[in-house]
Amino acid sequence: MRGYHDVGGRPAGPVERTVHPFLPWQKVSEAMRVALDTKSQLVTLDELRRCFESFGEDLYNTLGFYERRAEALTVLLDEKGLISRADIQDRMLAMAMAQGISVNFATRSIERLE
């Protein structure tokens, strides 16, 4: 049976060919993946794929590529006992507040504080 994440060969319309610059958090996400996979083997590509495939269709389709990666890394680091989701979220909140940004993890929303 084909999974919801397996979109190869399905009709999808034209491919957008616009090059978008990476956002800073996307660069950090990629750097973390490389450090945790390629450099240390703490998290493997197969484990990331398992996480992507376990998100469920709604979450998988709601998240963008780097958001899926960040969520998968969070799940794996928590599963392995390296750092908890709560600790990651606490650090993210502290960083956001330092930049004058409010984050709501439940609704996946952010807003600039006045």
State the Cα angle at 28 between 25 and 34, rounded to 5°: 145
Residues 60, 74, single domain; the answer is: yes
Q: How confident is the model at residue 4 (pLDDT cuts 50, 70, 90)?
A: low
Report residue 1 as tokens: 């049976």
Task: Please state the domain count of the chain.
Answer: 2
Residue 71 counted as domain residue = yes
What mean pLDDT is predicted for residues 64-81? 92
- The residue segments making up the domain with residue 75 are 23-83
Residue 10 counted as domain residue = no
Residues 101, 59, single domain; the answer is: no
Question: Do 78 and 84 form a contact (C-beta atoms < 8 A)?
Answer: yes
CB-neighbour burial class of residue 43 (10 A; exposed 0-12, middle 13-18, buried 19+)? buried
Q: What are phi and psi of 24, to 5 degrees?
A: -55, -45
Which pLDDT belongs to residue 112?
85
**Residue 92 C-alpha from the chain's centroid:** 13
Record the pTM: 0.79
Which pLDDT belongs to residue 48?
92
Residues 65, 89, single domain; the answer is: no
